Structure 1
Amino acid sequence: MGRQAEEISESVDRGGGDYDPGLYRAAESVPAEPFGGLSDGLRDRYRRDGFLSAGGLIDERRVGEAIAGIDRLIGGGVPGFRGIQWEAGVKGRLADLDLEQRRHAVRKLVYYVDHEPRLHSIAHDPAILALAADLLGAEPELFADQALLKPPGIGREKPWHQDVAYFDVRPGAPVVGLWIALDRTDPGNGCMHVIPGSHRAGPVPHFSRRDFQLCDTDVARDSVVAVPLDPGGCLIFDGLLHHGTPRNTSERRRWALQFHYAPAEAIWRSRDERAAYRERRLAVFGGDGLDVTC
Structure 2
Amino acid sequence: MSEAKKRLETIFGHVRDGQTPSVTMKLASNGSRYRYTQDGGILSDDQRKFYEENGYLVVKDLVSPSELQTYKDRFQSICCHDVTIPGLTIMRDVAIAKSEYQPGERAVTKIQDFQFDDVLFKYCTLPSIIPYVSSVVGDDIMSMHTMLINKPPDPGSKSSRHPMHQDLHYFPFRPADLIVCSWTAMEHVHRQNGCLVVLPGTHRTGVLLQHEYPKWEGGVNKMYHGIRDYDPSFPRAHLEMGPGDTVFFHPLLIHGSGMNRTSGFRKAISCHYASSHCHYIDVVGTVQEQLAREVEGVAKKRLGENVEFSYKDLWKVKGRLVQGKEGNLSIF
After TM superposition, list the pairs within 5 Å mapping 1:96-135 onto structure 2: 97-99=102-104, 103-115=105-117, 117-135=118-136
Could you say which residue in structure 2 is the equivalent of 1:188? 192
Gaps of 5+ in 1: 1-26, 28-36, 269-275, 289-294
After TM superposition, list the pairs within 5 Å mapping 1:1-294 onto structure 2: 37-80=42-85, 82-91=88-97, 97-99=102-104, 103-115=105-117, 117-154=118-155, 156-210=160-214, 211-219=224-232, 221-266=233-278, 268=280, 276-279=281-284, 283-285=286-288
Do the aligned partners of 1:173 and 1:263 also contact (CA within 8 Å) in 2?
no
- Residue 199 of structure 1 aligns to a residue whose secondary structure is helix
Give the length in aligned residue pairs.
238
Q: Distance in 2 between matches of 1:198 and 1:80?
A: 36
Q: Offset of 1:153 from its aligned partner?
A: 2.6
The percent of aligned pairs where both chains have the same amino acid is 24
- Residue 232 of structure 1 aligns to a residue whose secondary structure is coil
Q: Which has the larger radius of gyration?
A: 2
Q: Offset of 1:179 from its aligned partner?
A: 0.8
Residues 235-283 of structure 1: per-residue CA shift (max 9 Å, x gap): 1111111101011121121111111011112254xxxxxxx4333xx61
Q: Offset of 1:61 from its aligned partner?
A: 0.6
Do the aligned partners of 1:150 and 1:253 also contact (CA within 8 Å) in 2?
yes
Q: Offset of 1:174 from its aligned partner?
A: 2.2
Which structure has the higher relative contact order (CA within 8 Å, separation 6+)?
1
User: Could you say if the C-alpha distance between residues 122 and 107 of structure 1 is closer, same or farther in structure 2, counting changes exceeding 3 Å?
Assistant: same
Cα RMSD of the aligned pairs, angstroms, is: 2.5
Q: Distance in 2 between matches of 1:173 and 1:45?
A: 15
Do the aligned partners of 1:162 and 1:239 also contact (CA within 8 Å) in 2?
yes
TM-score of the pair, normalised by structure 2: 0.65
- Residue 126 of structure 1 aligns to a residue whose secondary structure is coil
User: Could you say if the C-alpha distance between residues 223 and 93 of structure 1 is closer, same or farther in structure 2, counting changes exceeding 3 Å?
Assistant: closer
Q: Offset of 1:172 from its aligned partner?
A: 4.2
